[in-house]
Amino acid sequence: MTFNLTNIMVQFSKENLDKVEKIIQRYPEGKQKSALLPVLHLAQEQFTWLSSETMDYVASLLQLEPIEVYEVATFYSMYHLEPVGKHVFEVCQTGPCMVRGCDDIIDYIGEKLNIKPGETTSDGMFTLKLVECLGACGYAPMMQMGKHYKEFLTREKIDSIIEDCRAKSN
């Protein structure tokens, strides 16, 4: 298929464009809208969050109306619709994590980074988000960090995770 990309500033890398082509082939012909969720994931990986410009770009790529992209991007909780820090801590707060002490972990991260849930540190390094059940109830308390889970969290583990993040960006 050909992509109409005039007047749009955001642009997928060549690698991601190839991935988009491959994703579309998973579905019946003419059903490229099915690629929307995976392509939004790709967009978030490359651009870190989904601006309206990015969503418009995805719409043009998949030959959709922009509203079809907005309504999906706003429905699913994994898409960041505002800029986020370099490292996003998504801490689970649902019942099974609660009984294993997630409240203490959430408070500790907040104190240590001096931010409230939903906020980003002023240096743009960390965002703290509270999320609902991530399917790691037996390994609670836990949080998602990018593609992976951090499980059986303790204050000490939080310390070392934060140190690691800081060390990597130095």
Residues that bind other proteins (CB under 8 A): 26-28, 31, 33-38, 40-41, 62, 68, 71-72, 75-79, 93-96, 98-100, 131-140, 144, 147-148
Query: What residues are paired with 131 via a beta bridge?
Result: 92
Closer residue to other proteins (CB): 5 or 133: 133
Closer residue to other proteins (CB): 94 or 121: 94
Closer residue to other proteins (CB): 120 or 144: 144
Strand 87-92, strand 126-131: pairing: parallel
Least distance in angstroms from the C-beta of 1 to other proteins: 15
Least distance in angstroms from the C-beta of 46 to other proteins: 15
Closer residue to other proteins (CB): 41 or 157: 41
Tokens of 58: 């995805």
Torsion of CA 95, 120, 157, 147, to 10 degrees: 80
